[in-house]
C-alpha cells in the first residue's frame, strides 16, 4: 500500500485493490462442495479448499484478504498464511461476527473495505460505515469467474495437503516434533 496515496495497488485495471474481509464459515456453507466437506466433518479440508480458491482470487485482483473463522478449533498455528491472505480465528467469547465488525469499525478508510457475508447484521454494520457489502453466493460467483480452467477442476485438498500442495518435509518434521512419532511410542 502506498502510504502517500492510500492506493493498495492494481485491481482489474485502474481500480485500486480492496481489503476484503470474509466471514469464513458463512462463505464455506454457501459453497456446495465445501459445505459437503463440513458435513463429513472435514473442517480443515473445507477451510484449506477455501483458502486455495482465495489464493487464486488474490492473484487475479491483488486484493488484501482477511478470512475470519469462529473459535480456535483447528487453529492453524504451524502453517504460515499464504501471501496476501490473513487467516484469523475469533477468541472466545467473541464470535467471527464480532471480530469482523471490530475490523470494519477500526478501519480509517471504510470505503476501501469489502465485507463478504450473508449475515444481515454484518452486512448492515459494513454498510453503516460506508464499506461495500456482498453476500456469500455472489462472491462465490465472482471468485469462480477469476479461476483458471485448471483450477476449476481441482478438488479441495486431500488430507496431507494444504492449498492443494503436499505438506513440505519441514512441516512434517515440525508436526512429528510437536506430536511425536509412532516410533517414540
Cα distances (angstroms) measured from residue 76 to each of 15, 105, 123, 142, 172: 33, 26, 27, 27, 14
| 46 vs 173, more confident | 46
The CATH number given to whatever domain includes residue 111 is 3.40.50
User: 57 is in which domain, residue-wise?
Assistant: 10-184
4 lies in some domain: no
Output the pLDDT for position 103: 95
Cα distances (angstroms) measured from residue 179 to each of 47, 76, 109, 182: 22, 15, 43, 9
Phi, psi angles (nearest 5°) of residue 33: -65, -45
Looking at the predicted structure, is the pLDDT value of residue 55 above 70?
A: yes
pLDDT band at 1 (very low <50, low <70, confident <90, very high): very low
The three grid cell numbers given for residue 105, joined into one nine-digit string: 469499525
pLDDT band at 11 (very low <50, low <70, confident <90, very high): very low
Output the pLDDT for position 183: 53
138 lies in some domain: yes
The three grid cell numbers given for residue 139, joined into one nine-digit string: 462472491
Q: Average per-residue pLDDT in the chain? A: 80
The three grid cell numbers given for residue 41, joined into one nine-digit string: 466433518
3 lies in some domain: no
Query: 104-160: per-residue pLDDT in tens?
Result: 999 999 999 999 999 999 999 999 999 999 999 999 999 988 876 665 566 655 555
Total domains in the fold of the chain = 1
Pairing state of beta strands 113-116 and 132-134?
parallel
Q: What is the pTM of this model?
A: 0.72
5 lies in some domain: no
2 lies in some domain: no
**Closest listed residue to residue 31, CA positions, set 21, 46, 48, 44:** 46
pLDDT band at 2 (very low <50, low <70, confident <90, very high): very low
74 lies in some domain: yes
| 27 vs 83, more confident | 27
166 lies in some domain: yes
CA angle in degrees (0–180, nearest 5) for 54-60-62:
85
15 lies in some domain: yes
Amino acid at each position: 500500500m502506498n502510504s502517500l496515496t492510500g492506493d493498495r495497488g492494481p485491481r482489474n485495471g485502474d481500480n485500486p485493490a480492496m481489503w476484503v474481509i470474509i466471514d469464513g464459515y458463512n462463505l464455506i456453507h454457501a459453497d456446495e462442495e465445501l459445505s459437503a466437506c463440513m458435513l463429513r466433518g472435514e473442517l480443515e479440508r473445507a477451510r484449506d479448499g477455501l483458502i486455495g480458491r482465495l489464493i487464486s482470487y488474490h492473484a487475479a485482483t491483488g486484493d488484501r484478504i482477511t478470512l475470519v473463522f469462529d473459535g480456535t478449533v483447528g487453529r492453524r498455528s504451524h502453517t504460515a498464511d499464504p501471501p496476501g491472505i490473513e487467516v484469523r480465528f475469533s477468541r472466545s467469547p467473541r464470535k467471527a461476527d464480532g471480530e469482523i465488525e471490530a475490523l470494519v469499525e477500526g478501519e480509517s478508510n471504510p470505503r476501501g473495505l469489502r465485507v463478504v457475508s450473508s449475515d444481515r447484521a454484518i452486512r448492515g454494520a459494513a454498510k453503516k460505515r460506508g464499506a461495500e457489502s456482498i453476500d456469500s453466493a455472489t462472491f462465490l460467483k465472482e471468485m469462480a469467474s477469476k479461476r483458471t480452467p485448471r483450477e476449476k477442476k481441482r478438488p479441495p485438498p486431500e488430507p496431507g495437503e494444504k492449498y492443494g500442495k503436499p505438506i513440505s518435509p519441514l512441516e512434517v518434521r515440525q508436526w512429528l516434533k510437536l506430536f511425536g512419532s509412532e516410533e517414540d511410542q
